[in-house]
């Protein structure tokens, strides 16, 4: 630091010089090294994320006070993390960004204290919190003080959960205890080639298990997007990733006390979706892409799919209908015939809970043949995992509208927001089949003795299958018994759903007084 000037002008000059040093970072060489890895600097990332000129930095001159291992002679400003607030689409957000050029972005005591402060400010202000992660974990030279810093972060993430949106953007390594920070947030973004998340690195894995694996193979974007389910979104570059973070924020409220933002919509609420029926084959054994159905009914065909590459037998997405954000949950017949399994149940359950926390109405599109049978599923806990989705729907107090597109069988029908668990409005297309099971299986069970005793068993079986379909599985059976509110023309789906959501906009539902529920694990 330069000597303190004796006049105001001198002191202002000193401040300007010091601020310039902070903004420049530790050295040109460290910036070049960051760029050489295909990564942007922390300040470049902030510039892409926030509205131009809106960033207000907090504690830019903070430095650590640790000693030992040479730390006392190396005390860079910011201490490896940039914190502050700004705006996205004119709305306030708070953020922190690891600066890998300083101590590899590793967390020390001062570093952690800065993050704690900005997290507290975000919660107090009721505004989203965004973390731009690019750090090497705990600063080993500071020992347990660094670990305690992580504890403070985890506690604040948990307190803020369901109160303000929390978004983790992974733009470098995230190892050890630090990996639990993004896991506690609502959304995790990753970038191919530069993002990795793991609790124990490849060297430790090899030492303990003998398995050889690369950093990307262990915890890269592809792994967490398609295998573990840790990452909700994956992109090819930082610029696209940060632009998508901005788009996600445009769909979310500032906090749990506000409604999501409403935008003007040029897509008429009563627009007929003539192509909807053509997209869904009448034959229940034929597959189709339910995303195309979703695109026909939401505003301008735009949706933001979450966990696109994980548990692909169910689709969860944010979209708008009549300019208002909705959460869409839909079975995906083009993947595993749309059955519910362990991963699909977990994926949908967390999405439903997130939507409920942030006052986002739910639209559920059903075409589900049941839960996936098998020893692996039963031993893996399909009962408790399936119960998570059931619990999430039953616990949700936002407006809930369901539409049966085609088949809805057994317990999976109940779990997928049926009226019996609290759907406010339920509709069905004329192609619907709501039943305990398919006609073939049902006839084989109910009429097994009659079929076995018949002179022509196969002819008898086919006749009885048709009889079961005519008696219990015709499209209007559910409507006759009050299981759906109406059977609708598929082309009217957008208009009918929007009308129901509009009527339910002032819905108020109280849960029993309690500290919190105890959801299935």
Contact 175, 201 (CB under 8 A): yes
Separation of alpha carbons 465 and 471, rounded Å: 10
pLDDT-wise least confident of 117-121, 205-209, 460-464, 480-484 = 460-464
pLDDT at 373: 93
Helix, strand, or coil (residue 320)? strand
Residue-wise pLDDT tens digits, 281-340: 988 889 999 999 999 999 999 999 999 999 999 999 999 999 999 999 999 999 999 999
| Residues ≥6 apart with Cβ < 8 Å to 64 | 71, 75, 79, 108, 109, 110, 111, 142
Separation of alpha carbons 23 and 32, rounded Å: 15
Residue-wise pLDDT tens digits, 20-29: 988 888 888 9
Residue 108: name the closest of 73, 152, 52 by CA: 152
pLDDT-wise least confident of 16-25, 48-57, 349-358, 461-470 = 461-470
The CA angle 242-259-49, to the nearest 5 degrees, is: 15
- Per DSSP, 371 falls in state B
Is 80 exceeded by the pLDDT of residue 73? no
Across residues 431-448, what is the average pLDDT? Answer: 77
Q: Could you give all domains of the chain from N- to C-terminal order, each with its CATH number?
A: 15-251 (3.90.226.10), 275-432+475-504 (3.90.226.10), 438-474 (no CATH)
Is 60 exceeded by the pLDDT of residue 2? no
pLDDT at 103: 77
Is 90 exceeded by the pLDDT of residue 470? no
pLDDT at 4: 52
pLDDT at 428: 96
Is 60 exceeded by the pLDDT of residue 1? no
pLDDT at 65: 67
Q: Which residues form the catalytic set? A: 176-177, 411-412
Residue-wise pLDDT tens digits, 359-399: 999 999 999 999 999 999 999 999 999 999 999 999 999 99
Mean pLDDT of the chain: 92
- Provide the 10 A C-beta neighbour count for residue 173: 25
Residue-wise pLDDT tens digits, 250-260: 999 999 999 99
pTM summary value: 0.92
pLDDT at 45: 97
Burial class of residue 38 (count of CB atoms within 10 Å of its CB; 0-12, 13-18, 19+)? exposed
């Amino acid at each position: 630091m330069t000597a303190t000037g004796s006049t105001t002008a001198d002191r202002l000059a000193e401040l300007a010089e010091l601020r310039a040093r902070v903004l420049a970072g530790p050295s040109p060489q460290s910036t070049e090294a960051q760029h050489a890895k295909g990564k942007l600097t922390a300040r470049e990332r902030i510039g892409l994320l926030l509205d131009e000129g809106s960033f207000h930095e907090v504690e830019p001159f903070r430095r650590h006070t640790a000693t030992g291992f040479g730390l006392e002679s190396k005390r860079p400003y910011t201490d490896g993390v940039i914190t502050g607030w700004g705006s996205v689409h004119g709305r306030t957000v708070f953020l922190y960004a690891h600066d890998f050029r300083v101590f590899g972005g590793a967390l020390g005591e001062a570093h952690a204290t800065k993050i704690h402060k900005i997290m507290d400010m975000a919660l107090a202000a009721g505004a989203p919190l965004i973390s731009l992660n690019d750090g090497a974990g705990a600063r080993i030279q500071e020992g347990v003080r660094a670990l305690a810093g992580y504890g403070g972060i985890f506690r604040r993430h948990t307190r803020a959960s369901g109160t303000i949106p929390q978004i983790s953007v992974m733009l470098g390594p995230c190892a050890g205890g630090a990996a639990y920070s993004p896991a506690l947030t609502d959304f995790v973004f990753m970038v191919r080639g530069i993002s990795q998340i793991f609790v124990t690195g490849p060297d430790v894995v090899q030492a303990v298990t003998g398995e050889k694996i690369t950093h990307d193979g262990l915890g890269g974007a592809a792994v967490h997007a398609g295998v573990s389910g840790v990452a909700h979104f994956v992109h090819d570059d930082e610029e696209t990733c940060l632009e998508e973070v901005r788009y996600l924020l445009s769909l979310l409220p500032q906090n749990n006390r506000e409604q999501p933002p409403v935008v003007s919509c040029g897509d008429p609420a009563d627009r007929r979706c003539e192509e909807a029926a053509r997209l869904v084959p009448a034959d229940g054994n034929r597959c189709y892409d339910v995303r195309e159905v979703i695109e026909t009914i939401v505003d301008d065909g735009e949706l933001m799919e979450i966990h696109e590459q994980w548990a692909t037998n169910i689709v969860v997405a944010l979209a708008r209908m009549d300019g208002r954000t909705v959460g869409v949950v839909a079975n995906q017949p083009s993947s595993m015939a749309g059955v519910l399994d362990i991963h699909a149940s977990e994926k949908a359950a967390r999405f439903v809970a997130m939507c409920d926390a942030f006052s986002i109405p739910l639209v559920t599109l059903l075409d589900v043949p049941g839960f996936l049978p098998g020893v692996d599923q039963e031993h893996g806990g399909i009962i408790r995992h399936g119960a998570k989705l059931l619990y999430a729907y039953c616990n949700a107090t936002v407006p809930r509208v369901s539409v049966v597109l085609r088949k809805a069988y057994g317990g999976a029908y109940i779990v997928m927001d049926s009226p019996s668990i609290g759907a406010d409005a339920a509709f069905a297309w004329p192609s619907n089949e709501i039943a305990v099971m398919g006609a073939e299986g049902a006839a084989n069970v109910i009429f097994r003795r009659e079929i076995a005793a018949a002179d022509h068993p196969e002819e008898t079986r086919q006749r009885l299958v048709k009889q079961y379909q005519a008696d219990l599985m015709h499209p209007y059976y559910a409507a006759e018994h009050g299981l759906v509110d109406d059977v609708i023309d598929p082309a009217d789906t957008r208009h009918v759903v929007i009308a129901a959501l509009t009527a339910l906009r002032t819905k108020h539902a109280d849960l029993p007084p309690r500290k919190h529920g105890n959801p299935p694990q």
